[in-house]
């Protein structure tokens, strides 16, 4: 009987110990938070998953919700044998056209520290700036995607035409996959808090910038031509910009800052 009591007592102590360990928060993929973000990448949604007290994964999508809509004065041009009035051309412009997906890993130096390092990448079309001018009213439909103006020669030639709907498109493009490194403050998930505010700042490695226009004469999806200093020459062959376009576009990084508000789901 004594043996039985001893055994039951030992079992009870063991079970209590196991229960105690189960109640301790390991933070190994046992919480999830969803949040909204606002920053230089626009506004976005993010999901955060702490893998250990030292590492947290975040993924999401951000986009720029504001589209500038107005008119620009492109003057009067001669095209297709007639004078075309482009003094009141409708224009739409936006940042981060097409948005970007993001995959980030936060690395915390201590078990309870708020400060962290972040590495990851933004993935998307990379259209940092995109503008579209509506020339459909000014041109004859037979001229859509069949007529282009060019500037420069050879590999530096810039070619611009309307697309098959009569729009002229241009953008500032960065890489499709853009690595990110930065620092941040705050944990997206803390078991005791329902709402958490965090902050990120760092640099996105863009690989440089391309200012480009499109010609649709050979490809209905558009062939880009990139503006370079070598393309900007006057009629005598002298460079117009002193090489500044290449210098500015060659800058390989851009800053990133954003504020995030997370809500713990479980």
Partner 1 sequence: MKKYIVWALAALLMVPVSCNKGNQDNPMDEPATKDLAQVITFKTAAMVGVRNIQSIEFTEASRYIVTYTVTKAESENHVIFGNYTYTNGTFNLDGFGHVTINGSEVTITTATTGGSPVTATATITPTTTSDTPHDNLCRNWKVGKIIIGLSGGSFGAAGIEKVFNNGIKMDQICTWLDDNNISISEENRETLLKYSVEEVCVTGAGSIAISFNVADAFLGHYQLNNSNISFGFDSSDIPFITSGQFSGTVSFEGTNCLVIAQASMVHNEKTYKATFEMTLTEAK
Note the Cα 261 to chain centre separation in Å. 19
Binding piece for partner 1, criterion CB under 8 A, among 2-10, 69-77, 120-128, 148-156: 148-156
Specify the residue, 10 or 82, whose C-beta has the smaller distance to partner 1.
82
Residue 89, CB-side half-sphere exposure with 13 Å CA sphere: 25
Give the integer Cα–Cα distance in Å for 98 and 82: 36
Does position 43 bind partner 1 by CB under 8 A?
no
55 φ/ψ angles, rounded to the nearest 5 degrees: -135, 135
Does position 224 bind partner 1 by CB under 8 A?
no
- Tell which one of 57, 63, 151, 263 touches partner 1 (CB under 8 A): 151
For every residue of 188-209, DSSP letters joined together read S-BTTBSEEEEEEEEEEE----
Kindly state the smallest distance separating residue 13's Cβ from partner 1, in Å.
55
Kindly state the smallest distance separating residue 220's Cβ from partner 1, in Å.
11
Contacting partner 1 within 107-146 (CB under 8 A): 145-146
The SS3 assignment for 121 reads strand
Does position 53 bind partner 1 by CB under 8 A?
no
Kindly state the smallest distance separating residue 73's Cβ from partner 1, in Å.
20
For every residue of 214-234, DSSP letters joined together read EE-SS-TT-EEEE--GGG-B-
- Tell which one of 27, 56, 161, 169 touches partner 1 (CB under 8 A): 161
- Tell which one of 53, 152, 224, 252 touches partner 1 (CB under 8 A): 152
CB 65 within 8 A of CB 42: yes
Give the integer Cα–Cα distance in Å for 222 and 10: 76
143 φ/ψ angles, rounded to the nearest 5 degrees: -90, -10
Specify the residue, 217 or 261, whose C-beta has the smaller distance to partner 1.
217
Give the integer Cα–Cα distance in Å for 229 and 240: 8
Give the integer Cα–Cα distance in Å for 105 and 107: 6
Kindly state the smallest distance separating residue 160's Cβ from partner 1, in Å.
10
Binding piece for partner 1, criterion CB under 8 A, among 116-124, 192-200, 213-221, 252-260: 213-221
Q: Which of 205, 182, 183 is nearest to 251 (CA)?
A: 205
Binding piece for partner 1, criterion CB under 8 A, among 125-133, 152-160, 162-170, 243-251: 152-160
Does position 74 bind partner 1 by CB under 8 A?
no
Binding piece for partner 1, criterion CB under 8 A, among 80-88, 98-106, 115-123, 258-266: 80-88
- Tell which one of 80, 110, 137, 243 touches partner 1 (CB under 8 A): 80
Residues that bind partner 1 (CB under 8 A): 78-82, 145-153, 159, 161, 215, 217-218, 233-235, 237
């Amino acid at each position: 009987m004594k043996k039985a009591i001893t055994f039951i007592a030992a079992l009870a102590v063991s079970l209590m110990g196991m229960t105690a360990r189960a109640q301790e928060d390991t933070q190994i993929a046992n919480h999830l938070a969803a949040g909204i973000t606002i920053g230089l990448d626009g506004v976005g949604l993010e999901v955060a998953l702490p893998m250990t007290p030292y590492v947290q994964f975040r993924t999401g999508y951000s986009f720029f919700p504001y589209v500038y809509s107005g008119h620009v004065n492109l003057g009067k041009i001669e095209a297709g044998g007639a004078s075309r009035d482009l003094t009141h051309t409708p224009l739409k412009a936006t940042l981060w056209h097409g948005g970007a997906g993001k995959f980030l890993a936060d690395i915390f130096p201590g078990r309870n520290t708020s400060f962290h390092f972040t590495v990851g990448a933004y993935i998307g079309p990379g259209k940092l700036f995109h503008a579209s001018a509506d020339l459909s009213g000014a041109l004859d439909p037979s001229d859509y995607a069949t007529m282009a103006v060019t500037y420069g020669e050879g590999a530096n030639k810039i070619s611009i035409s309307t697309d098959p709907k009569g729009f002229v498109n241009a953008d500032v493009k960065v890489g499709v996959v853009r690595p990110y490194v930065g620092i941040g403050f705050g944990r997206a998930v803390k078991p005791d808090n329902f709402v958490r505010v965090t902050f990120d700042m760092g640099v996105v490695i863009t690989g440089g910038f391309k200012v480009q226009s499109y010609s649709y004469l050979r490809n209905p999806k558009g062939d880009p031509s990139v503006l370079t200093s070598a393309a900007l020459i006057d009629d005598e062959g002298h460079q117009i910009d002193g090489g500044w376009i290449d210098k500015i576009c060659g800058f390989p990084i851009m800053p990133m800052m954003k504020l995030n508000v997370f809500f713990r789901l479980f």
